[in-house]
């Protein structure tokens, strides 16, 4: 398997720069697979760009932008089987689209409508984790629990560089190592936790170094290189399925957009550095690669982008067509067997609302 930079302490890359760094290739990926990956990235990019517009139009609420994170999400999910589990943070809010989740479901989540809360079993995609890093033990527990049942399921937890400072990350990673859980700890190191740079987050030389302390391999990969991400994740999946336990993947990227729609990074970030990253963003890099090897054509590109855009238009229309949520839902779903006091509260609310 060809790699431009095979040393895992260095950043693993497959895609060259079209100039002095030669393109590599990933064994087992034919033309169809390469186009599938491109389609996944376009779906995510289109989702993200349209969501920012929808936010400005007041059609969705505050939104956590993932522009330039598409290679990490698409590349890693493509290395999984459908039975494998994905545990997203809010930065991966639309990752379910890669598992067949309807666009309107994710948009509804950002609209605060109950129809945006999906059944994880439908997609093997866990609920979006809003508090930082606290879902790492969930993914590890699921992987460990499946292993105890003799199943070959792998679970991936996605989190950012800031999450590696959290206690939950440490406890989850430690559990993963001790239980030899078939888990992948996927860190999208975009180098910023809102306004805090990764240098203020850790004194470790790399985040992947932390893996040593948990007795698992730590792999560094160029997070803007979808093929390198795919390949590194595939190796981690193989290790997990072979019973060799968890892997920590540090995908290095750069946050080239605000943390969320409510954030103004010009107050703390070097905008020249951001502009540099925007010129080298992951979807463009992959598209140029596909053009160089003769896989992408104008027609194909237009078709894939057109389909993604149409899906978004249909999605927002469907999300906006959702009937208003029933206030009674406030009382539903928290318990299988609710305490009797909740039915009293519901009756009282209905009386006050005049819906008795």
* Residues known to be catalytic: 255, 259, 268
Does 12 bind other proteins (CB under 8 A)? Our answer is: no
Considering beta carbons, is residue 43 or 129 the nearer one to other proteins? Answer: 129
Q: Which residues contact 304 (CB under 8 A, 6 or more apart)?
A: 35, 38, 39, 42
Angle formed at CA 125 by CA 303 and CA 188, multiple of 5 degrees: 80
**Contact with other proteins (CB under 8 A) among 7, 82, 341, 352:** 341
**Contact with other proteins (CB under 8 A) among 114, 215, 265, 284:** 114
**Contact with other proteins (CB under 8 A) among 9, 313, 333, 350:** 333
Q: What number of other Cβ atoms are within 10 A of residue 238's Cβ?
A: 13
Stretch that binds other proteins, among 14-22, 133-141, 220-228, 236-244 (CB under 8 A): 133-141
In the bound complex, what is the minimum distance in angstroms from residue 140's beta carbon to other proteins? 5
In the bound complex, what is the minimum distance in angstroms from residue 332's beta carbon to other proteins? 6
- Long-range contacts (CB closer than 8 Å, 24 or more residues apart) made by 325-332: 325/113, 325/114, 325/115, 327/353, 329/114
Radius of gyration, alpha carbons of the chain: 21
Does 80 bind other proteins (CB under 8 A)? Our answer is: no
Does 324 bind other proteins (CB under 8 A)? Our answer is: no
**Taking CB under 8 A as the criterion, which residues in 174-203 touch other proteins?**
174-175, 178-179
Considering beta carbons, is residue 65 or 183 the nearer one to other proteins? Answer: 183
**Contact with other proteins (CB under 8 A) among 4, 80, 168, 226:** 168
Which residue in the block uniquely carries the two structure tokens 């206690």?
Answer: 167
**Residue 352 corresponds to which tokens in the numbers above?**
């006050």
**CB contact at 8 A, 311 and 317:** no
**Contact with other proteins (CB under 8 A) among 43, 44, 94, 155:** 155
If we measure between CA atoms, which residue out of 3, 13, 82 comes closest to residue 252? 13
What are the Cα distances from residue 279, in Å, to 82, 274, 283? 34, 9, 10
Considering beta carbons, is residue 142 or 226 the nearer one to other proteins? Answer: 142
**Contact with other proteins (CB under 8 A) among 292, 332, 350, 351:** 332
Most distant CA atoms of the chain, gap in Å: 73
Does 352 bind other proteins (CB under 8 A)? Our answer is: no
Residue spans of beta strands (DSSP E) within the chain = 85-87, 155-160, 183-189, 192-193, 196-197, 218-222, 247-252
Stretch that binds other proteins, among 57-65, 119-127, 203-211, 252-260 (CB under 8 A): 119-127
Helices (H), 101-208: 103-110, 120-123, 136-148, 167-179
- Residues of the shown chain interacting with other proteins in the complex, contacts defined by CB under 8 A: 85, 114, 117-121, 126-127, 131, 134-146, 148-149, 153, 155, 167-168, 171-172, 174-175, 178-179, 332-337, 339-341
């Amino acid at each position: 398997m060809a790699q431009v930079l095979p040393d895992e302490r260095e950043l693993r890359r497959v895609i060259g720069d079209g100039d002095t760094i030669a393109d590599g290739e990933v064994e087992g990926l034919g033309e169809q697979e390469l186009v599938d990956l491109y389609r996944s990235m376009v779906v995510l990019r289109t989702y993200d760009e349209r969501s920012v517009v929808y936010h400005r139009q007041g059609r969705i609420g505050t939104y956590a932008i993932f522009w330039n994170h598409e290679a990490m999400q698409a590349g890693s999910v493509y290395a999984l089987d459908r039975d494998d589990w994905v545990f997203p943070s809010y930065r991966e809010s639309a990752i379910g689209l890669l598992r067949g989740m309807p666009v309107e479901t994710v948009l509804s989540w950002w609209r605060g409508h109950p129809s945006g809360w999906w059944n994880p079993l439908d997609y093997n995609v866990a609920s979006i984790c809003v508090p930082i890093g606290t879902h790492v033990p969930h993914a590890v527990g699921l992987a460990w629990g499946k292993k105890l049942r003799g199943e070959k399921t792998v679970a991936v937890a996605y989190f950012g560089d800031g999450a590696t400072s959290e206690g939950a990350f440490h406890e989850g990673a430690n559990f993963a190592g001790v239980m030899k859980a078939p888990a992948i700890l996927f860190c999208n190191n975009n180098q910023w936790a809102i306004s805090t740079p990764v240098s203020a987050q850790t004194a470790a030389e790399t985040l992947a170094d932390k893996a040593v302390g948990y007795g698992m391999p730590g792999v560094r990969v160029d997070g803007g290189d979808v093929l390198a991400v795919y390949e590194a994740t595939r190796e981690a999946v193989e290790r997990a399925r072979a019973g060799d336990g968890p892997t920590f993947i540090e995908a290095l990227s750069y946050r080239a957009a605000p943390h969320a729609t409510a954030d103004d990074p010009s107050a703390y970030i070097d905008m020249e550095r951001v502009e540099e990253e925007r010129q080298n963003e992951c979807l463009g890099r992959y598209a140029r690669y596909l053009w160089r090897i003769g896989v992408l054509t104008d027609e194909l590109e237009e078709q894939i982008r057109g389909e993604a855009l149409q899906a978004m238009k249909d999605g927002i229309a469907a999300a906006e067509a959702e009937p208003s949520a029933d206030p009674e839902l406030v009382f539903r779903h928290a318990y299988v067997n609710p305490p009797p006091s909740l039915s009293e509260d519901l009756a009282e609310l209905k009386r006050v609302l005049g819906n008795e």
